[in-house]
Amino acid sequence: MNIAIQGIKGSFHHIVANQYFGNDISLNECMSFTEIPELVNNEVVDGAVMAIENSLAGAILPNYALIDEFNLTIHGEVHLPIHHHLMGLKGQTLDDIREVWSHPMAILQCRKFFREHRQIKLIEATDTAEVALQIQQKKHKGIAAIASKNAAKIYNLEIIADKIQTRKQNYTRFFILKKRNGNLSQITGVNKASLKFITKHQTGSLAEILHVFASHNISLTKIQSIPIIDEPWQYAFVTDVIFDDYTVYQNALSRLEKKVNSLKIFGEYKRSKRKYDY
């Protein structure tokens, strides 16, 4: 099985791919999220892993836009505890580090640590693990990466500071994506869905939609406004819902369709078991 990820081996996307699909997979390593959808739709890969939100930094809105634009399907989700570690060449100490290169999201999630070490210059890069690889390959002294313990192990780096994220409970949610009618196995035990809808332009429209879900005992775990492409200052809503009875959920969608201008199902899948001890 060939799976596209953002980043390289040792990245958090790699960890999620192994958790969801197992270790017997081939990776298609992408340096940006924008590379992933065409690989999926052109069937270069069987599926993909894409981060969608972080408990500290919030939703990654451009990734919702990619899922929508390329008509991808959400096949599943993974919640991964994110532990950021500062790492460099063996023998280096924190006093030796002049620069830290990392993905902007990783830097953002460690801002308290770097406020306490203002002598370190922060430089944005495309991937956490790719920086770790560069440091090892080019023997960069005085430069550190923020990455996972897996990256330190794979690229033979030493952890200089452990778990430097601002909040020790720091989680990222990842979507497992496939092509519409793609080859990934059928899911059993579906109990969650991600939907996109555009409300009618009248007072109380959103309240009516929320009432539909409430009247069917369907819980909303997320609601997020996202810009509508080519319609400045107009917004759609993305929502995640969980349900116990698929038939009741379908009945709710039937009512919902009558109350919105458009409704799109991004995916119906099994709710992730959150592994907070990783």
Residues 119-135 have a mean pLDDT of: 96
Give the pLDDT confidence of 141-198 residue by residue, as tens digits: 999 999 999 999 999 999 999 999 998 888 999 999 999 877 788 788 899 999 999 9
What digits encode the pLDDT tens for the residues 205-258? 999 999 999 999 999 999 999 998 888 888 999 999 999 999 999 999 999 999
pLDDT band at 275 (very low <50, low <70, confident <90, very high): low
Of the pLDDT bands very low, low, confident and very high (cuts 50, 70, 90), residue 276 is: very low
278 band by pLDDT with thresholds 50, 70 and 90: very low
Q: What secondary structure does DSSP assign to the chain, as a single string?
A: -EEEEES-TTSHHHHHHHHHH-SS-EEEEESSGGGHHHHHHTTSSSEEEEEEEETTTEE-HHHHHHHHHTT-EEEEEEEEE---EEEESTT--GGG--EEEE-HHHHHHTHHHHHT-TTSEEEE-S-HHHHHHHHHHHT-TTEEEEE-HHHHHHTT-EEEES---SSSS-EEEEEEEE-TT-SSPPPSS--EEEEEEEE-SSTTHHHHHHHHHHHTTPEEEEEEEEEPTTSTT-EEEEEEEE-S-HHHHHHHHHHHHTTEEEEEEEEEEPPPPP-TT-
For residue range 17-62, list pLDDT tens digits in order.
Answer: 999 999 999 999 999 999 999 999 999 999 999 999 998 889 999 9
pLDDT band at 277 (very low <50, low <70, confident <90, very high): very low
Task: Please report the domains of the chain, with CATH numbers, ordered by start residue.
Answer: 2-82+170-178 (3.40.190.10), 85-161 (3.40.190.10), 192-269 (3.30.70.260)
> Which of residues 201 and 49 earns the better pLDDT score?
49
